[in-house]
Structure 1
Amino acid sequence: MDSVHSDLKVAIVVADIAIVLIVGSLLVMLLRRLKQPPVIGEITAGIVLGPSILGLLPGDVTGFLFPVELRPHLSMISQVGLLLFMFLVGWEFNSQLLKSRSGAIASVSLWAFVLPFALGLGTAALLYERHDVVDGEHVSFWYFAAFLGIAMSITAFPVLARILHDTRLAGTRIGALALASAALEDVMAWILLAVMVVGFTASGGTTTLLTVLGLFLLYALVMALGVRPALRWLVARLTQGGKASPFLVPLIAAGAFLSAYATSWIGVHAIFGAFAFGLVMPREPRALLAETLHTPLESGTRLLLPIFFIVTGLSVDISALGWTGLGELAIIMAAACAGKLLGATLPAKFSGMSWRDSYAVGLLMNTRGLTELVILNIGVSLGVLDGEMFTMMVLMALITTAMAVPLLPKGLPRAPGGLFDIPSVTVPSGASARRTPAPGGATDAATSGQEVPSGKS
């Protein structure tokens, strides 16, 4: 009997995955006609299948399709896709982006981080009283405020890169400045988030906090001085003779998962481990790794990452917001948009761009998408954000991402080709494909002529 019951559970989870993939694909195709990136369709699919829309039908359709007792299984599967995605984010990070137009990039990234973060703190001060208790536990104002600040300041680098490619802004000054600034800005946000997570989880006092920080610094040194050269040796051995070993994909994926386990054991979220493993992953031989390693892992994220969106969507209940919640959502939207538009537009203008082009940079930097959802889910898992705040922040991420392309000013310069004239390769944006620059830059393009994995944040 137990065996039959267990088999039925597996069958329901598998059927749930099928539903997610079908609904997600349909909405991606539909919203693509509105020039929206795939991540918008996938996030919308999660909301549609959750209590916000499907749950309004009689008979608790959402509960029938996605039984509460089986949702942890979906969540675990989604984490596999998320960790693979974060590995690709780290592997594709392109330091070349930070070396061009350094003055303008530093100015735009700094202010596009600081101003939204400050407005996030102000928003937290206004909303804290209604959201200071999560699951019966009191939440510190500073942790609550810091999470809102980080969530306001983030830019979804993968989604932004896809938007730039689709709008043919990738090879322009606007696209180059926006993408490079987003890369640097997101590095600052991830570092701050890591420090905050360490502080939040180290509840045992100063001694525990120092222990976690010390272990994390030791982990970083091991990754830089030990794992990086070991990976170079391993990849060289597994790609000898211009042919990749069939063990390449499973061994690298296993390394990313073990790195995620290490940071989780230390007390830092697992996604940082997967991201760090991607940072130290070799980029050579480029063409071979792009074909034999990057493509299979990208395909894995395309299948598994949509499950992350439905798990997120099942926690989003728009119908429960009420008029007070809608008023708070308006405050959040105003702070999020003002922070990015002013924080990126004004520095871009001072760097010598026109008002039209500067506004385009600010609008592009206002996209949040998948990266925002990752941060918000961390906030929920740590007990910092309640369900209502989570719903409002997810809606903010969805709206700010969806508004980018329709509101771009007309007459912007368009250009074919990659960013900074660097060759590009199709890589994932959420569960979708995009084009971004290769790490080697234009010089490498001239010598290799290959399309390779590249940078995002």
Structure 2
Amino acid sequence: MAELAALAVLLGLARLAGAAAARLGQPAVLGEILCGVALAPAARLLPAPVGATLTALAQLGLVLFLFAAGAHLAPSLTAARLKATVVPALGATLVPLGLGALLAVWLARRHAPGGTGPFVVFVAAAMTVTALPVLARILADRGLLAADAGRRALGAAAVTDVTAWLLLIGAAFSRHGWFATSSLPVVLGLAALPVVARGRFGRRIGRLAPGSATAVLVALACAAAAVTAAAGLHPAIGAFFAGAVLGRAVPILDPAALVTPAGSLLAPLYFVLAGRAVDLGQLDAALAAEIAAVVAVAVLGKGGGAYLGARLGGVAPHPAGVFAVLMNTRGVTELVFAGIGLGLGVIDRALYTAMVVMALVTTAMTGPLLTRLSPQREGV
């Protein structure tokens, strides 16, 4: 009973906070994270069994959210779309990657519990992230999905996010050892998934009724998550990979649309608990300076790199500015990244706090900056 009461209260408060953020023109996740930060002192007083149950439900919400995000990313991974955005995407990937690596070398002396190598790879990857699901929602709300700006941003976001996830997997493997005996089955299993999905098994899934298909997709998402978790990696990695594979293998089912409702129910719980992990009690002058540096490098690296790449790709100044603003959208993907890094022991709680602040700031910037640029829509 206590678990159900706590779940009802947290989900209710998360929805209220998300609705309040939406009324202010911000993504709902912004309110959900701030709700978690505000509730942190009370949430830490929950009995251990209640906390464990809520964490398990939040983990399920994260797995389904990442599976849907991977499936949502799959349509952007076409040769035509990626070719058209290769130069802007390189700018939006390589510049933040390089600046993030330099920042990580400076931060490693205080915040790298798992060693400098995995830490540098993780921070560099975190600087390249663009939240594709949030970006797609912003473009849809502003009628830009079919515009050049929308197609350019989605294609480039696909490149940067695939790069970031591959680097994250590399950081996870290097943290736990490339030659760990548990890693080989994971590599073989993930490599076999595209083959299986495009074979008879995938065709059978494509013929299922929506209810049965949803149950199968949820089971596959959880199975992929369990496989990576068993190898010492984060379960979200397997869920994301499975979503990306199945999104391309059985597009007729639209896996993202089928799984999103289930993920949307529990995902706010994950973001509230993510806010609970933010520890402002450690805030001092040194950490405040590091948070400012993380935010500055994130904005300048991603925005500046995207603008430079777009200009080198022949995009006019104003559309290049719109592209830079869109690519700087970190959203929930950055929060998931930070949570994975903390769970893997690659970063400590202080840097996790800095990453959450950066995600909130960059997400909050997107709407006002796009509104400011909107009067000059010509050429977008």
Whether TM exceeds 0.5 here: the answer is yes
- 1: CA distance between counterparts of 2:168 and 2:95? 17
Which structure 2 residues correspond to residues 169-188 of structure 1 after superposition, within 5 A? 169-188=144-163
- 1: CA distance between counterparts of 2:109 and 2:48? 30
Partner of 1:115: 95
- 1: CA distance between counterparts of 2:212 and 2:319? 48
Partner of 1:272: 237
Report the residue type matching 2:196 in the other structure. G
Identity %: 34
Which structure 2 residues correspond to residues 234-313 of structure 1 after superposition, within 5 A? 234-238=204-208, 244=209, 246-281=211-246, 289=253, 297-313=259-275
Partner of 1:146: 121
- Inter-CA distance 320–221: structure 2 relative to 1 (3 Å threshold): closer
- 2: CA distance between counterparts of 1:72 and 1:382? 18
Give the secondary structure class of the aligned counterpart of 2:198: helix
Q: Deviations over 1:59-112 (max 9, x none)?
A: xx3434x44563232211111111111221222233456434645511222221
- Inter-CA distance 230–257: structure 2 relative to 1 (3 Å threshold): farther
Give the secondary structure class of the aligned counterpart of 1:385: coil
Q: Deviations over 1:32-79 (max 9, x none)?
A: 2322122222222222222xxxx3xxxxx3434x44563232211111
- Inter-CA distance 322–248: structure 2 relative to 1 (3 Å threshold): same
Alpha-carbon contact 1:171-1:414 (below 8 Å) kept = no
Larger Rg: 1
Partner of 2:298: 336
Q: Aligned Cα RMSD in Å? A: 2.6
Report the residue type matching 2:90 in the other structure. L
Alpha-carbon contact 2:72-2:247 (below 8 Å) kept = no
Give the secondary structure class of the aligned counterpart of 1:223: helix
**In the alignment, structure 1 residue 167 sits paired with structure 2 residue 142:** yes
- 1: CA distance between counterparts of 2:43 and 2:77? 44
**In the alignment, structure 1 residue 75 sits paired with structure 2 residue 55:** yes
- 2: CA distance between counterparts of 1:284 and 1:228? 5
- 1: CA distance between counterparts of 2:32 and 2:155? 26
**In the alignment, structure 1 residue 128 sits paired with structure 2 residue 98:** no
Greater helix share, 1 or 2?
2
- 1: CA distance between counterparts of 2:109 and 2:215? 48
**In the alignment, structure 1 residue 364 sits paired with structure 2 residue 326:** yes
- 2: CA distance between counterparts of 1:307 and 1:245? 26
Give the secondary structure class of the aligned counterpart of 1:93: helix
Report the residue type matching 1:142 in the other structure. G
1:412 deviates by 4.1
Give the secondary structure class of the aligned counterpart of 2:315: coil
* Equivalent residue for 2:9, pick from 14, 19, 27: 19
Give the secondary structure class of the aligned counterpart of 2:93: helix
Alpha-carbon contact 1:98-1:184 (below 8 Å) kept = no
Q: Deviations over 1:424-444 (max 9, x none)?
A: xxxxxxxxxxxxxxxxxxxxx
- 1: CA distance between counterparts of 2:217 and 2:378? 38
**In the alignment, structure 1 residue 391 sits paired with structure 2 residue 361:** no
Report the residue type matching 2:119 in the other structure. F
1:389 deviates by 1.0
- 2: CA distance between counterparts of 1:285 and 1:144? 36
- 2: CA distance between counterparts of 1:315 and 1:83? 19
**In the alignment, structure 1 residue 199 sits paired with structure 2 residue 174:** yes
Partner of 1:224: 194
Give the secondary structure class of the aligned counterpart of 2:44: helix
* Unaligned runs of at least 5 residues, structure 1: 1-10, 56-60, 134-138, 239-243, 416-457
* Equivalent residue for 1:90, pick from 60, 70, 73: 70
Report the residue type matching 2:354 in the other structure. M
Report the residue type matching 2:265 in the other structure. L
Report the residue type matching 1:17 in the other structure. L
Partner of 1:411: 375
- Inter-CA distance 162–246: structure 2 relative to 1 (3 Å threshold): closer
Alpha-carbon contact 2:234-2:344 (below 8 Å) kept = no
- 1: CA distance between counterparts of 2:147 and 2:96? 25
Alpha-carbon contact 2:71-2:256 (below 8 Å) kept = no
- 2: CA distance between counterparts of 1:262 and 1:148? 25
* Equivalent residue for 1:106, pick from 86, 110, 130: 86
- Inter-CA distance 46–142: structure 2 relative to 1 (3 Å threshold): same
1:315 deviates by 0.8
TM-score, structure 1 length as denominator? 0.76
**In the alignment, structure 1 residue 47 sits paired with structure 2 residue 37:** yes
TM-score, structure 2 length as denominator? 0.90
Q: Deviations over 1:208-251 (max 9, x none)?
A: 3xx5564344223321222432432322453xxxxx27533323
